[in-house]
Amino acid sequence: MKLKNITIDQKSCRTSKFLTYGKKSFGMAKFFNYFDERRENKQKNDANALFTFLLGFACKVPSMRALERFSDNLGYYCHRSVLESFLRQVNLPRRLRKQLKSMARAMQSGKMLKLDNINGRKLGAVDGVEVYRKSYSPEEFYKAVKQRKVCELCCVSVHRDSSTNEIIRYDCYHRVIVLSLVTNRGPMPIDWEFQTSTAGEDYLNWLNSGANPNNHPKEESSEQDVKQTGELTAAKTLITRLNCEYNGFLPFDTIVSDSLYDKANIIDLFEEYGIALIAGHKNKTRKLRTQAEKDFQERKPRIWKIENTSYQGYQGVYCDSNRRSSKTNKVKIVCVERAEKGKKAVANYFYCSNYTWMTPQFVEWCRHYRWKLENGFNDWTNKWLILKHMFHHHDTACNSIIGLLFIAVIWVQNFWKGNLNRGVIGVKALSETYEEFFSTLKEGVRQIMRHIEHGSFFRLINSS
């Protein structure tokens, strides 16, 4: 049965199951009630705003104005000022992180983190994601700087005309470092940290001093430089805070990352918290890489095959002199060459923690899962479209939006892909697209909301 032939009753039934799933699996009713008990004298309850955001994100509502219309269409109007006031609550990001921690624990106890072929290890992944990009003409940018709209979270890239070297536009964007649990349902984000920048303050001082072109604030040669300078600092802050919040009992024991993290200080920090690191190792000029390449040419590889792809794996233990202690300065360099039938072989090098179970087969499976995770990030940005919109330009509000979105992501992906037979008979998550799922959920919400009492918007989850 195709989705377009499903009746309204079936859509409403699926939406009810979605709300019930959130209540029973992740304690969403208790989460909403926490906000229902606060600031009761307000004209609109905080729980109504919370439910508007979470249900709106679950239905892929991409902007603040659209969220306002979304609540109105459902029979309970939440004005934009009410939504903005809710986002700016100082303690809201901390409360959202607490809920994400609770959801991570629920996934861990419910064996939702189990992956095949990695010997029972629990994988996490850390990566930077760009959000909220906006382009300005030079005049618009300078005006925004004077109005302090270029905040400490804004990274700035400058675009010049190749022939005249004149500035033609500025791009402002935020970069958020996301730590996700790797599952077969897609990436489950459990925490985040924004990358900070001094660009806004630098440009404000430059404008106030007369805007001399010869003293133009330093321009990074590329956006890759911006990523290099700030992501590692934000990642260290993120891991340190997570270890403290979880009291050392993290829901993952291995982190997979890109080649930016193949640094001695990163592996030292991770291993201090009991986390194994697998990072890409692309710098061919590093001594460790050149020494490993030379050694692997003289060694016999491990060979295995999966379907139409054949693999050859090498591994070696080397001393990284940049590590903190000379007693624990060993790292493992792993190389995996994979060759698909009819295609040229590709070799990947990895900078890893030195454990006996860190074999080429294990590392390749982790690489494979991380590749699938990156596709999940693309789904958030390209299919959900929410991360591309600036909901509110305030540091607390920006953190709140990310936390709310991540709660919606975990809720939606576990319901949609947790059991491939869940939902409407004949429709499976393997064949159903994002657009079809969002359309079904949104229409079902509309049908249900017509039958609940006015003023009891968020209480729908308690009655599900």
Task: Tell me the average pLDDT across 205-229.
Answer: 76
Task: Tell me the average pLDDT across 54-60.
Answer: 82
Euclidean distance between CA atoms 407 and 57, whole angstroms: 9
Euclidean distance between CA atoms 221 and 390, whole angstroms: 26
Tracing tokens 């699996």 back to the chain, one arrives at 25
Of 252, 268, 137, 139, the closest CA to residue 191 belongs to 252
Residue 416 one-letter amino acid: W
Q: Which residues contact 242 (CB under 8 A, 6 or more apart)?
A: 179, 190, 191, 250
pLDDT category of residue 427 using cuts at 50, 70 and 90: very low
Instruction: For residue 154, give the 3-state DSSP assignment.
Output: coil
pLDDT at 449 over 70: no
Output the six-digit token pair for 273. Answer: 């918290």
Output the six-digit token pair for 340. Answer: 């698909």
Q: Which residues contact 440 (CB under 8 A, 6 or more apart)?
A: 3, 6, 11, 14, 15, 424
List, for residues 299-334, the tens digit of each pLDDT value: 999 999 887 889 999 999 999 988 887 667 899 999
Instruction: For residue 333, give the 3-state DSSP assignment.
Output: strand
Task: Tell me the average pLDDT across 407-430.
Answer: 63
Helix (H) or strand (E) holding 22: helix 8-26
Question: Top-level CATH class of 123-384?
Answer: alpha beta
How far is residue 281 from each of residues 135, 317, 347, measured CA to CA in Å?
Answer: 34, 14, 11
What ranges do the domains of the chain cover?
3-108+400-463, 123-384
- Do residues 175 and 194 touch, judged by C-beta distance below 8 A? yes
Euclidean distance between CA atoms 227 and 234, whole angstroms: 10
Q: Which residues contact 306 (CB under 8 A, 6 or more apart)?
A: none
Q: How many helices (H) and strands (E) does the chain have?
A: 15, 10
Task: Tell me the average pLDDT across 69-76.
Answer: 74
- Provide the strand spans (E) within 289-400: 302-306, 309-319, 330-340, 346-352
List, for residues 145-193, the tens digit of each pLDDT value: 998 888 888 888 888 888 888 899 998 888 889 999 988 887 889 999 9
Of 421, 418, 462, the closest CA to residue 107 belongs to 418
Tracing tokens 């024991």 back to the chain, one arrives at 253
This prediction's pTM: 0.86
Q: Which residues contact 368 (CB under 8 A, 6 or more apart)?
A: none
Of 82, 90, 225, 208, the closest CA to residue 155 belongs to 225
Q: Phi, psi (5° rounding) for residue 436?
A: -65, -40
Question: What's the pLDDT score for residue 85?
Answer: 85
333 class by beta-carbon count within 10 Å (0-12 exposed, 13-18 middle, 19+ buried): buried
Of 338, 266, 331, 332, the closest CA to residue 309 belongs to 338
Task: Tell me the average pLDDT across 253-259.
Answer: 92
pLDDT at 426 over 60: no
Euclidean distance between CA atoms 449 and 137, whole angstroms: 44
Instruction: For residue 177, give the 3-state DSSP assignment.
Output: strand
